[in-house]
Amino acid sequence: MARQRTGKAAASHYPSQINEARDAQLLQVFSKPNSWVQSGVKPSPLRTTARKRGRLSKAAGFFDAVPHEILNMILLNLDYLSLAKLCTTNSKVAAYIKRQPFYKLVVEYCHNTLRSMAMLDLHRAHDARHVYKALVDPKCSAPGCKKLGNSLFLPNCRRSCLNCLGRTPISTALVLEAAINKYGLSKMAITENILCFKLPNLPEWFVVAAEAIDLATRLYGRRPVDSCLPLLWSEMATVPFPFLDPDSRRLEFGRQCRACYMAYVEHRDIWTQIEIPPTDSDSKNWEMKLRDLEERGLAVFGIRTLLSHVRSGDCPEATVFWSQEIKRL
């Protein structure tokens, strides 16, 4: 009778050296799964009523009279709810819109993004051009940051990486009253010039910090000093957002390096595991190392860039982590 294979024996299929491993093996070991990847159930954030369909039926002939280049320029200036309403006019209009990449990719793969925009009453604030541009450009929008941004800051439809979210004005939500007090702006000046929005279950109005700073700069001729703000508000205005992989031309949500992330978490929690309080020198060294580990641990990669990160030696923990993990497989 043949012996049954155990889970331990499966580890023998994994080579001892990283450079000998297959792509699938490296991804299994090093890819930190994200709990916020889109679920299989697709809500209907763009649903329209029969009454609204009837009002739009007369506009169908417009699609036959306008060249496609001009038509797409017009469609890109509409928000996705308006595009969905146009799809209800007739089958020809619906077929044309639904095969355009700026509609097809966003509606099929970013339905949670559209739903979150509707929850914050921002579904009319951003046209298809801005949303699609964010989809195909994976870089974080923060000045000077070139990391992959796997989140969308909804108030201004800008990408943000985990390191910049809530730490740079362009991806920071600021209470309206705080903007008035911090930057010497009147409520009227703010509400008439920049977008104000609300967050779920909170009574306050919010603005994007960068927009308040720019307004104060224009009005007073000098740029006010930026300051740190509570991260929670910015996280509440953010949604996971896929990106278009330039190699495969497929959408993916990104992944973190498990080795770098676990090294960051271990160092971050080191003082909770020992009873001896750190000295001032220890604390300073700990903070300096934490910043470096945090930058690597929270970085998000595409499939190809993660494989390159592991194989090229950019991940200092890779060799030790690999040898430890394959023993558990």
What tokens does 27 get?
């991804």
Give the pLDDT confidence of 79-93 residue by residue, as tens digits: 999 999 988 888 888
pLDDT tens track for 118-128: 999 998 999 99
Same domain, yes or no: 181 and 130: no
Whether the pLDDT of residue 137 is over 60: the answer is: yes
Q: Are residues 55 and 131 in the same domain?
A: yes
Domain end among 240, 263, 289: 240
The number of C-alpha atoms within 13 Å of 297 and in the hemisphere containing its C-beta is 14
Question: Are both 132 and 163 inside the same structural domain?
Answer: no
Please state, in angstroms and rounded to a whole number, the distance separating the CA atoms of residues 79 and 124: 6
Containing structural domain, residue 303 = 254-329
Structural domain includes residue 248: no
Number of structural domains in the chain:
3
Q: Are residues 91 and 166 both part of a single domain?
A: no
Whether 211 and 265 map to the same domain: the answer is no
Does some domain include residue 215?
yes
Task: Please report whether residue 119 resides in a domain.
Answer: yes
pLDDT mean across residues, the chain: 84
Letter string b/e over residues 99-130, b meaning 16 or more CB atoms within 10 A of that residue's CB: ebebbebbbebbbbbbbbbbebebbebbbbbb
Claim to verify: residue 55 and residue 130 sit in the same structural domain: yes
Domain contains 13: no
Higher pLDDT, 328 or 314: 314
28 belongs to a structural domain:
no
Indicate whether 3 belongs to any domain: no
**131 and 60 fall within a common domain:** yes
Question: Of the residues 240, 268, 284, which one is the last residue of a structural domain?
Answer: 240
Mean pLDDT of 306-321: 92
Comparing 136-145, 177-186, 219-228, 298-307, which segment has the lowest mean pLDDT? Answer: 219-228
- Whether 166 and 225 map to the same domain: the answer is yes
Check whether residue 98 and residue 162 sit in a common domain. Answer: no
Q: Does residue 218 share a domain with residue 192?
A: yes
The mean per-residue pLDDT over the stretch 273-298 comes to: 80
Parallel, antiparallel or unpaired: strands 243-244 and 251-252: antiparallel
147-185, pLDDT tens digit by residue? 889 899 999 999 999 889 998 999 999 999 999 999 999
Q: Is the pLDDT of residue 328 over 70?
A: yes
Residues 178 and 133 in one domain: no
Say if residue 84 is in the same domain as residue 124. Answer: yes
Domain annotation covers residue 175: yes
What is the C-alpha to C-alpha distance for residues 268 and 302, in angstroms, rounded to an integer?
25
Query: Virtual CA dihedral for 292, 297, 298, 301, nearest 10 degrees?
Result: 120
Residue 303 placed within a domain? yes
CA distances in angstroms from 208 to 54, 170, 195, listed in the order given: 38, 7, 8
